Structure 1
Amino acid sequence: MEGSIRYLDIASVIVGVDGSQSARKAALWAAAEAVRRDRPLHIVHGADALFVSADTFERVRQAGRQLLDETAETVSSEYPGLTVTTEFSRRDPVASLHRAAGLHGTIVVGNRGLGGFSSLLLGSVGLETAAGAKTPVIVVRGAEDRNEAGIVTAAVCDELDLTCAQYAAREAELRKASLRLLHVWSILQSVGLVASMLDDVGEITEEHVRKLKAITEQIRDEYPSLTVQADAEKSASVAGVLVEASNHADLLVMGGRRKPGYIGPMLGRVTHSLVHHAHCPVLLVPRHSRGSGSES
């Protein structure tokens, strides 16, 4: 491994680059985030070159260093006061980003890499990074020319999402924006297949509203100067409501729910939909669930 990791701390911003336009966009977005946090930016290129010949590695290393230097120059010209460090790693990109983030850093990735189809779906590196991360991950999505909404939206489910709401409140303060706490639940999931249980529907609705109110009151106590709006909605598609909400937000924050997979952790259904289809950047905050049953 090469590079400097002299400045990493609890609020550091780490961005992965691979030469794609998406990664360049992510690097500039990450730089703006680092400026907002008044912290340095660390740019990482994982070459996945552990088992190659010396000649091949030297060519990969030179290309990687050139990419890092060019990215750092672009970022520095846009944000001249920002401290920027770079790191070339022989490891694969996912392991390189996780290692650079350590215990507290925030990882930023683009919505797609160099490989795969020319759609706007998140690439495999981004998916693996988000699924396996123990620190926050931001997937940079949305059009570059979209107007600022002045809103940070947090998707909250229950008391386990208080940390998610706190992250969102901090991001709203940094942006001088308002905070929207959005609680969405699937009524079909709540009552199973028995659609005629109207009394149960009413009780379930009250319970969901109670959970949202508890989180909202705590956030308002902790951030008294922040404008906080709380909305509770029921829908047949939780992901659909959140994707639509992302149309009117500068950042969508949610608990990054994971579930076991055949070859490693996977993102839950709703989380997976958001990182593929949201209209704004998505910040995934690791969520420590009660058990393995939740995969939303």
Structure 2
Amino acid sequence: MDSTFRTPDTSSVVVGVDGSQPARVAALWAATEAERRDRPLHIVYGADTDSRALYLPAETVERVRVDGRELLDDTAKAVSAAYPGLKVTTEFSRAGAVESLHRAGALHGTIVVGNRGLGGFNSLLLGSVGLDVAAAAMTPVIVVRGIDGAEETGTVLVAVRDEHDLLYARYAAREAELHKASLRLLHVWHVLDSVGEVVTMLDGVDAIAGGHAESLRAVTDAIREEFPDLDVRADAEKSISVAGVLVEASRHADLLVMGGRRVPSALGMTRNLGRATHSLLHHAHCPVLLIPRTGSDFGSRS
């Protein structure tokens, strides 16, 4: 057969490879996570030969197939050597990388991508495939960043805006338990959000700040009640740049968890991630776990 598709376990960790060094690093990082979760690892290569078969010589298409399967075999061998007890499956897909990863992730898998692929210029910015995977995913996506030479901090960081983020705080708490780490809930108050109120009611600044503190306190209390053995810290900061505060905080975290606050747009799915989320996927100093939002969540900002 020209293509092999093996449906992974519904709770498996799915990682995309393309021959780049960041993708190989992501595969080994994903293997660590799969072992930690006691789940299989599914390695995917999206060759995109179906869309290009009519425009490329047959020998070129065959070369892509051979190279893709060799890449999958080499990656699987490297993972198995490092994690001999881990169940590893591979998939060569004729579809593109984004479609292949979304299909493999299905509804319940966790998708892992590297911070940079083979295309484009060499930089720390997230590649287009990673952005498209994160923007359109209906399952958690982890972008592996900032792990080269980094020492573990023993902290999982979660961005909390209000009580509606309790779901994502719970997810982060479970991650902290898996990592045997502490949990830091960080609420960033954008000072310009309330500028109209402040101008017209200067004596209400304390009340506005108190409202933000109360939102964070409600989430924190719920997490401490549900996870009594977890070390939980909560902080609130005000800034003109939510993304800037979170990027700096990510220097001191092993994982940053965020709810993906997408907003509808005709300009492309990558713009649906929200400004802060988009910036963090490009600039965070640790891996970023993005939990997708659906339905009524689409109207909120990030």
For each residue in 1:12-55, what CA deviation from the matched residue of structure 2 results, as whole angstroms up to 9, or x when unmatched? Answer: 11000000001001001100000110000000010111130544
Letter in 2 for 1:294: S
Q: Which residue of 2 aligns with 1:43?
A: 43
Report how far residue 227 of structure 1 moved.
0.5
What secondary structure is seen at the aligned counterpart in 2 of 1:258? coil
Q: Which residue of 1 aligns with 2:173?
A: 169
Tell me, yes or no, if structure 1 residue 2 matches structure 2 residue 3: yes
| Alignment gaps of 5+ in structure 2 | none
Q: Which residue of 2 aligns with 1:284?
A: 290
Distance in 1 separating the partners of 2:156 and 2:288:
10
Distance in 1 separating the partners of 2:196 and 2:285:
31
Matches within 5 A, 1:88-167: 88-167=92-171
Alignment counterpart, residue 268 of structure 1, candidates 274, 281, 285: 274
Letter in 1 for 2:288: V
Matches within 5 A, 1:19-58: 19-51=19-51, 52=53, 54-58=58-62
Report how far residue 201 of structure 1 moved.
2.2
Counting aligned pairs with the same residue, the percent is 66
Report how far residue 143 of structure 1 moved.
3.7
What secondary structure is seen at the aligned counterpart in 2 of 1:290? helix
Q: Which residue of 1 aligns with 2:186?
A: 182
Report how far residue 195 of structure 1 moved.
4.1
Report how far residue 208 of structure 1 moved.
1.2
TM-score of the superposed pair, with normalisation by structure 2: 0.93
Is the 1:121–1:276 contact (alpha carbons within 8 Å) kept by the matching residues of 2? yes
What secondary structure is seen at the aligned counterpart in 1 of 2:9? coil
Distance in 1 separating the partners of 2:64 and 2:201:
62
Letter in 1 for 2:273: L
Distance in 1 separating the partners of 2:196 and 2:35:
47
| Alignment gaps of 5+ in structure 1 | none
Distance 1:198 1:70, change over 3 A: same
Matches within 5 A, 1:219-238: 219-238=223-242
Alignment counterpart, residue 222 of structure 2, candidates 218, 224, 227: 218
Report how far residue 289 of structure 1 moved.
6.4
Distance in 2 separating the partners of 1:136 and 1:284:
6
Q: Which residue of 1 aligns with 2:79?
A: 75
Report how far residue 6 of structure 1 moved.
4.7
Alignment counterpart, residue 208 of structure 2, candidates 192, 204, 216: 204
| Deviates further, 146-155 or 192-201 | 192-201
C-alpha RMSD of matched pairs (Å)? 1.7
For each residue in 1:202-223, what CA deviation from the matched residue of structure 2 results, as whole angstroms up to 9, or x when unmatched? Answer: 2221111111111111111211
For each residue in 1:64-90, what CA deviation from the matched residue of structure 2 results, as whole angstroms up to 9, or x when unmatched? Answer: 100100111111111111100000111
Report how far residue 58 of structure 1 moved.
2.1
For each residue in 1:180-215, what CA deviation from the matched residue of structure 2 results, as whole angstroms up to 9, or x when unmatched? Answer: 011112011222485463333222211111111111
TM-score of the superposed pair, with normalisation by structure 1: 0.95
Report how far residue 138 of structure 1 moved.
0.4
Distance in 2 separating the partners of 1:263 and 1:55:
37
